[in-house]
Chains A and B, each alone.
Chain A
Amino acid sequence: MISQLFILSSKGDHLIYKDFRGEAGNDVINVFYEKVTALPGDQPPVVMSHRDLHFVHVRQGGLYWVATTTSAGSSPFTIIDFLNRLAALVTDYCGSLSEKSVQMNFALIYELLDEVVDYGYIQTTSSDVLKNFIQTEAVSSRPFSLFDLSNVGLFGAETQQSKVAPSSAATRPIQSSRDQGVFVDVIERLSVIIGSNGAVMKADVEGEIKVKCYMLNCSEMRIGLNEEFSIGRSTLRGYGAAVHVDECRFHQAVKLDEFDDHRILKLCPSQGEQTVMQYQLSDNLPSPPPFRLFPTIERDNRGRLLIYMKLRCDLPPKSAAINVSVSVPVPKGCVSLSQELSSPEQRCELKPQSRSLVWTVPRCSGGTQLSAVFKLDVPGLSSASMLEVGPVGLTFELPKLTSTGLQIRFLRLTPVQPGPSQRWVRYVTHSDSYIIRV
């Protein structure tokens, strides 16, 4: 049972406030914000209480989504789930989730809240049901068109754009019936720890298949995965293109009657985004970890700290990693930094507040090796402070690559859609935590 529901921006602005039961006053928003910001660290507890009022909040899209409840009987997990679901609904309806989009679409969001919650009781969060009641058009911050001028080749010539769509293509309101399409995301999160001797100590992948559907009349969707997809920890692994995961979970709407034989997921898609399948694989990656780092830390005769880094990208030569950023913890009291990087588009900055230097590489193709030299001025450098150069963290994104090798073989919609197929797929592997110990 939800007493109040409000959405705050990260700065504490009231974006949406709705009181369902009138059990508490308007001032609880400020109480909540003070409680959240007063706590140190990034991760305040999800459930907090103030007198007899309980706050449950999630952070999505940089916003605080807060529900308050008074009765002790209501399940906090229900509320957490509801808040997440609500955020997903707002994302679906507004296209993207940001402070700006929430501000612009406040009317739509209030309308949604009216339908979703009644007197504190949750009614429905299904977009299939809701689409009959929600009438307000979403206001998009930027008029989006999949086929704007840049996409059209001269005299209708085939351009690259007919093969690829920008990632923003999937961020549009589901109500816009102008372009229909299905977007499938295969996203994998890598968490890897590589020891100082180069041995991989931990390598886990968590992956998910998300489907974002803009089809109006689509009764069934069939997603074919690799035929050699195998689940479970068996010692005998298939060879070649076999894709192996340790375990996987499916959305409840997925029908699995063809999964065993043909690795086909069947589902009745509702509009909006759904996570169809989640899977994970630990310690048994089919490919070597994408990056290796060979650091050398020295102290030169002028008392500066020299860090040589050699970053090797072990991807196949045709793939590349983008938005690579390497963050190296540096000793306390580090004053200035001078660097030698191998190309101008790379950059490096020192972040004194987090005591780290961040080396960003916009693009790093497979098989290449980047090297960099950082010279740090640290007054009073001692050998103990050299030990402060701690484990290096990497963040990156590997487009068009899944580290497990999972691929979408096909995607079929029934009834068969006329016209050009609007089925898009995106494979991304990104780093969840990629730690290389020095």
Chain B
Amino acid sequence: MAQFDTEYQRLEASYSDSPPGEENLLMHVPEGAKSNWHHIENLDLFFQRVYNLHQKNGFTCMLLGEIFELVQLIFVVGFTVFLANCVDYDILFANKFVNHTDSSKVTLPDAFLPVNVCSARIQENVFVIFVLIISGVFWLHRLVKFIYNVCCYWEIRSFYINALKMSMSELPYATWQEVQARIVEIQKEHQICIHKKELTELDVYHRILRFKNYMVAMVNKSLLPVRFRLPVLGEYVFYTRGLKYNFELIFFWGPGSLFENEWSLKAEYKRGGNRLELADKLASRILWIGIANLLLCPVILVWQILYAFFSYTEVIKREPGSLGARCWSLYGRCYLRHFNELDHELMSRLSKGYKASSKYMNCFLSPLLTVVAKNVAFFAGSLLAVLIALTIYDEDVLAVEHVLSSITLLGVCITVCRSFIPDKHMVFCPEQLLRVILAHIHYMPDHWQGNAHRYETRDQFSQLFQYRAVFILEELLSPVVTPIILIFSLRRKSLEIIDFFRNFTVEVIGVGDTCSFAQMDIRQHGHPAWLSEGKTEASIYQQAEDGKTELSLMRFAITNPQWQPPQETTHFISQLKERIHREATGVSSETHPLSLSESEPKSLVANLLAGPSTLGSVHFGRESYLINQAAAGVGDRASALRSLSPISSSLHLRGSLNAAHRTASSHTSAMNKTMAGSGTDARTVSSGSSAWEGQLTSLVLSEYASTEMSIHALYMHELHKQQSRGDLSRHTWHRQESDESSDSIPDEVRSHNPQSRHFPRSHTFPTTVSSPTAIPASASDISSTAIGQEGVPSLGGSHQQYSESATGTCGAGGRVVRTARVPMGGWAEEGQGVARHHGPLPEESSEDEMPPHIHKIT
């Protein structure tokens, strides 16, 4: 044993490695400085409550909301019963004559049955009694929960006030990022989590979203049975709240679930030894829950119907068109959700994409339906017109039986028909719309791009973005369908589920068992086709699909700039960011001749932003402009500038803000100066007092975060497309059957490329080329909407918010390099002006003329 130089280490006994049976060791928790919040046992619940209270805008709002919900419940049940049993409809419809002595008017109280009759009717109706009992039990349950919640949230409230030092009144105006930063801060003094000295943002996210991450991962790996091939409807996604509730019940918190408590998976599920037994156990459990669902089906059905009736009839009455309005389906929310993305972040992202999405879906009106609708609308409209004209002539027409109701009906009919008739001024540009959608929803199967105009794509997209009416219908059907799915579909997957939980659960110190995908470790779960080539070691089973790991990582790093990711991850992020910057600023060909990007298209970002698929209109505009212009290079440069200045400047602004924010507050004055020279957004920063500066900076950052993420998402998709073009990857929509439509991708893309090649190279962007250290802080909008506006003229309500932006470049030494007017919108004249202003044109370098074959290699 002496042949090694290695020293022996003393094997210390620590509490975590005590074998079973010998673990009755006590943990000594030192008395903290009289704080109530050290060593919180169930941190998951605690953080969830902290988050909920924040989302519900403080204690009072939440309390009121819950009280009203309880009252509403009583009202729903009571009113239904009343309507069903205590109203004499004959009197109301005047089928029965009421003998009043004084007047012939029928009053509302006349229509009500007397109390004793009413109660007798209720008592003899078994069904009503049944409904009442069920609702009573349900209500009591809600009441108990409410009282319990009030006690819990009172504690959370005092946590906010005493520990986080935030009053309830300012809570609605504080971002979650701020709250989270304070939590991370106070961990140092209060020691909320005992296992760790310091909390990270990721820990908080992990705890709040532990189960959601699992669900996202399971949907991502197509483990949950939510897609079905129905005989008539074809492929169909069925995922309702009831089903989701049951899944959660089975996996996470129901009796006998896989989890021991909120934060740890049961020990036997972590080992592979008896997976078959465990799968059997799970299968039988699913069976029982399915049967229970089946038995409770009438109860749930009644509840769903009641709830739906009262939540939606009012909406339908008010605006019938709203049924045609769409919403993001529950499945879509799971599919589009990043790992570690909180509800409000997801919602804001999806809401931003809503407009474009509904526009996109509206592109696909069936011409047949349009013809029918136009004619129906014509007939209904003429009838309505006549009726209205008659009414105007003599209002007694209204008194004729059913005239009022037919007017209403015809109105509804016309409104419905109108929704099937496309807007005359609308332009069919699905590819651009899809690009805008992608900028917000961040996920999209590969074969959609280039196939946006196809009906298959639209159908698949409609799985994510369904009609609200379908949503309601599915919810109503759910009590019947859920047990069937559970019993016949989910039960078969029990072994896979057991394997999933075993393979993808990782214990993180200070967090507990969490889904390993949520760690966003490129090495463990990266997908080689998504930029993590060479960095990932994951097998196909371990790779997250659709680049979820990579995109989630980017998103998390961008929204939480304070987060310090592990080494490799940092490397990945910085590499990607650098790449985008480089391509946005175009210094790649000069300064990095040997870097990675050599084998790739040079100005991907330019391609992406100004490419034919996004900015078709601009493209054409530019061409016509070229004809007018004698100097072709000027035009090129102008449009390069136009397309890139918002992006790169916002990137730069954010980057510089970030850096300054991190380094020290001593730099704030310098930054302030920089800001003062910049445009509108920055002015809000500089106008604040110095005490607020840090906070404001973070606010500004978080507002830019979504923009930056949009750019990154687009960029990553673009890069992915280029990478995976050669080999048609296994990635198809949901990886079930290969989609025929995906075959056409390569040609489509290849046909785009030659066009994109003579697109302006971004390194002609003057300000950044001339002084890379300077901060081109320009007033820029959320530039993705700028993309959208440029590409789709009718998309944004606000049109071109900035016509100019001053680019103040104040270095540390205070040297002002130049102040330029950078056009933001799309006015070629201004662009030309800038080009002239910057003197001699940088010659298009030879590297720019990329030989075409490079595109094909990638």
Contacts of A228 in B (CB 8 A): 270
A35 contacts B by Cβ under 8 Å: no
A262 at the B interface (CB under 8 A): yes
Contact B5 A399 (CB under 8 A): yes
Given known pairs A96-B2, A228-B270, the reply for A409 and B17 (CB within 8 Å) is: yes
Which residue on chain A has the smallest CB distance to residue B275? A236
The answer to the question of B541 belonging to the interface, with a C-beta cut-off of 8 Å to chain A, is yes
Contact in complex: B542, A411 (CB < 8 Å): no
Given A239-B503, A424-B9, A425-B11, CB of A167 within 8 Å of CB of B4: yes
Give which listed residue, A212, A227, A238, A322, contacts B5 with CB less than 8 A.
A322
Residues in chain A near residue B567, CB distance under 8 A = 317
The answer for the CA separation of A411 and B5 in the assembled complex, in Å, is 23
The answer to whether B772 has its CB under 8 Å from any CB of chain A is no
The answer on a CB contact under 8 Å between A424 and B506 is no
CB neighbours of A409 from chain B (8 A): 17
**A412: contacting residue among B19, B499, B502, B504, CB under 8 A:** B19
Instruction: Assess the B6–A427 pair: CB atoms within 8 A.
Output: yes
Q: Which residues of B contact A234 (CB under 8 A)?
A: 272
Report the Cα distance A33→B5, complex, angstroms: 33
Closest beta carbon of chain B to A102's beta carbon, Å: 15
Docked-complex contact A410 and B1, CB < 8 angstroms? no
Contact of A421 among B11, B18, B22, B272 (CB under 8 A): B11
B6, B12, B502: the one within 8 Å of A426 (CB): B6
CB contacts under 8 Å to B, within A93-124, are 96
In chain A, residues 118-155, which have Cβ atoms closer than 8 Å to a Cβ of chain B?
A: none
Specify which of A212, A241, A399 is in contact with B6 (CB 8 Å cutoff). A399
The answer, yes or no, to whether A162 is at the interface (CB within 8 Å) is: yes
Number of interface residues, chain B, beta carbon within 8 A:
34
Quick check: A164 and B1 within 8 Å, CB to CB? Answer: no
Specify which chain B residues have a CB less than 8 angstroms from the CB of A262 in the assembled complex.
Answer: 19-20
A237: CB under 8 A from chain B? yes
| Chain B interface, DSSP helix/strand/loop, else mixed | loop
Are A222 and B19 in contact, with the CB atoms below 8 A? yes
Contact A170 B8 (CB under 8 A): yes
- The verdict on A54 contacting chain B, using a C-beta distance below 8 Å, is no
Within 8 A of A (CB), among B593-652: none
A183 at the interface (CB under 8 A from B): yes
B4, A428: Cβ atoms closer than 8 Å? yes
- Find A410's partner among B2, B13, B273, B539 (CB 8 Å cutoff): B13
Does residue A264 face the partner (Cβ distance < 8 Å to B)?
A: yes
Whether the pair A397, B4 counts as a contact (CB closer than 8 A) is yes
Instruction: Tell yes or no: B507 within 8 A of A by CB.
Output: yes
Given A239-B542, A260-B273: A162 and B10 interface contact (C-beta under 8 Å) = yes
- Is residue B764 within 8 Å, beta carbon to beta carbon, of the partner chain? no
Provide the bound-state CA to CA distance between A426 and B8, in Å: 5
Q: Does B322 contact A (CB under 8 A)?
A: no
Task: Report if B832 contacts A (CB, 8 A).
Answer: no
In angstroms, Cα B7 to Cα A226, docked, is 21
| A294-343 contacts to B (CB < 8 Å) | 317, 322-323
User: In whole Å, how far is A435's beta carbon from the nearest beta carbon of chain B?
Assistant: 21
Q: Is A423 an interface residue (CB 8 A)?
A: yes
Q: Does residue B524 face the partner (Cβ distance < 8 Å to A)? A: yes
Asked if B20 and A166 make an inter-chain contact with CB atoms under 8 angstroms apart, the answer reads no
Closest residue of chain B to A398, judged by CB?
Answer: B6
When distances are taken between beta carbons in the complex, the residues of chain A under 8 Å from B10 are 162-165, 421, 423-425
Interface size, A (range): 35 or more
Name B508's closest neighbour in chain A (CB-CB).
A240
Bound CA span A166–B272, Å: 39
CA distance A323 to B12 in the complex (A): 28
The docked-state distance in angstroms from the alpha carbon of A317 to that of B503 is 27
Task: Report if A206 contacts B (CB, 8 A).
Answer: no
Question: Quick one: which of A231-262 are within 8 Å of B by CB?
Answer: 234-241, 258, 260-262
Chain B residues, Cβ within 8 Å of A430: 4
Q: Are A421 and B13 in contact (CB under 8 A)?
A: yes
B8 touches A236 (CB 8 A): no
Nearest Cβ in chain A — how far from B514, in angstroms?
Answer: 10
Report the minimum CB–CB distance from B228 to chain A (whole Å): 26
CB proximity of B588 to chain A, nearest CB, Å: 25
Q: For residue A241, which residues in chain B have a CB less than 8 angstroms away from its CB?
A: 506-507
Chain B residues lying within 8 Å of A399, measured Cβ to Cβ, are 4-7
**Alpha-carbon separation in the docked complex, A399 to B270 (Å):** 30
Q: Which residue of B lies closest to A240 (CB)?
A: B506
Residue numbers in B under 8 Å from A423 (CB-CB): 10-11
- Determine the chain A residues whose CB is within 8 A of the CB of B502 once the complex forms: 236, 238
What CA separation (Å) do A163 and B541 show in the bound complex? 42
Q: How far is the CB of A146 from chain B (nearest CB, A)?
A: 10
Known: A167-B2, A273-B1, A421-B13. A239 touches B516 (CB 8 A): yes
Rounded to whole angstroms, the CA-CA distance of A11 and B18 in the bound complex is 51
* A187 (CB) vs chain B CBs: closest residue: B4
A410 touches B8 (CB 8 A): no
A237 shortest CB reach to chain B, Å: 7
* Cα of A238 to Cα of B501 in the assembled complex, Å: 10
Q: Which residue of A lies closest to B499 (CB)?
A: A236
Q: Which residues of B contact A425 (CB under 8 A)?
A: 8-11
Those of B543-602 within 8 Å (CB) of chain A: 567
**Chain B proximity of A270: nearest CB distance (Å):** 16
Chain B 90-104, CB-CB to A under 8 Å as 1, else 0, gives: 000000000000000
Q: Does B507 contact A240, Cβ atoms closer than 8 Å?
A: yes
Q: How far is the CB of B4 from chain A (nearest CB, A)?
A: 5
When chains A and B are docked, how far (Å) is the Cα of A322 from the Cα of B7? 12
Q: Write the chain B residue with the least CB distance to A420.
A: B10
Does A184 sit at the interface, judged by CB under 8 A?
A: yes
Contact residues in A for B542 (Cβ distance below 8 Å):
239
Q: Which residues of B contact A273 (CB under 8 A)?
A: 1
**Chain A nearest CB: distance from B499 CB in Å?**
6
Which 8 pairs from chain A and chain B are nearest by CB? A399-B6, A424-B8, A240-B506, A409-B17, A423-B11, A164-B7, A410-B17, A165-B8
11 residue pairs bridging A and B, Cβ less than 8 Å apart: A162-B10, A166-B8, A170-B1, A230-B272, A238-B503, A239-B516, A409-B17, A410-B13, A424-B9, A424-B10, A426-B7
Interface, chain B (partner A; CB < 8 A): 1-2, 4-13, 17-20, 22, 270-273, 499, 502-507, 516, 524, 539, 541-542, 567
Taking A423-B10, A424-B9 as known contacts, 13 extra A-B pairs with beta carbons closer than 8 A to each other, sorted by chain A number, are A170-B1, A183-B1, A227-B270, A230-B272, A239-B504, A240-B507, A258-B19, A264-B19, A322-B5, A322-B6, A400-B9, A425-B11, A427-B6
